[in-house]
Amino acid sequence: MAQDLTGKVALVTGASSGIGEAAALALAKVGVLVAVSGRRKARLDSLVTRITAEGGKGLALPGDVSVEAEASKAVTDTVAHFGRIDILINSAGVNEAGGIETLTTEQWHRVIDINLMGTIYSCKAAFPLMKAQGAGDIVNISSTAGRRAGWIFAAYSTSKFGLTGFTEALRQEGGTQGIRVSIVEPGATATEISTSISDPKWREAIQQHTHNENAMESSDIADAIMLALQLPRRANVTRILVQPTTDVAAMP
């Protein structure tokens, strides 16, 4: 029997587009009060308008998760507005193309600071609040690049492999406190992440890869997130790998 999420409070990072946006809409549809975070305020405001128009409740919290103070503030502002935080979806992410000889250290920092450190900052702020409540759900959005590395996306794979390790450690730490921790690893999904790649050749290549007719939609990944959240609390879906049906390559 699916767990009723009505009245729960969620914070979704990276909610101005893609998987984060789809997750926020899916949560609001089942009665979750949703705070949405991201760097593009106008898009967040538009998302909250959509949520409200469909009878839900939303809160726009513009900010950059790669800045610890801003990531922490999104959590505290969510609690200040809604009174608690039950669900944290870490979806903020960027990509970059290049290897050790071509990427600058600034590019490495940008990818790792947003994809990995931003998640750590948000979790660090939310975890003690969930612990005090005796329950909570944290879902971190990774990628198949967190299972299978490729040198041309070295920084991205590094950030996602790191996210896998962090998520498992957090799951172990939170399990006895009633905090469920999950990681979702999507394959090719039609999102805007390719726009963060500075090399125009690889930006176009990834755009074609993620927007071909066989690629998944952000709503498909949102459905996977909802599956993890709606199971009875005795069950923790720790890791979900979601691939396009036509992707038949073996995965680790």
DSSP, collapsed to helix, strand or coil, labels residue 239 as strand
Residues 226 and 29: their CA atoms lie apart, in Å, by 11
* CA gyration radius, the chain: 17
- Asked about 156 being catalytic, the answer comes back as yes
- Single-letter residue type at 116: L
Residues 4 and 15: their CA atoms lie apart, in Å, by 23
Beta strands in the chain (DSSP E): 9-12, 33-38, 58-62, 87-90, 136-141, 179-186, 239-242
Element (H, E) at 98: none
Q: Which of 82, 156, 161, 166 is catalytic?
A: 156
Catalytic residue positions? 156
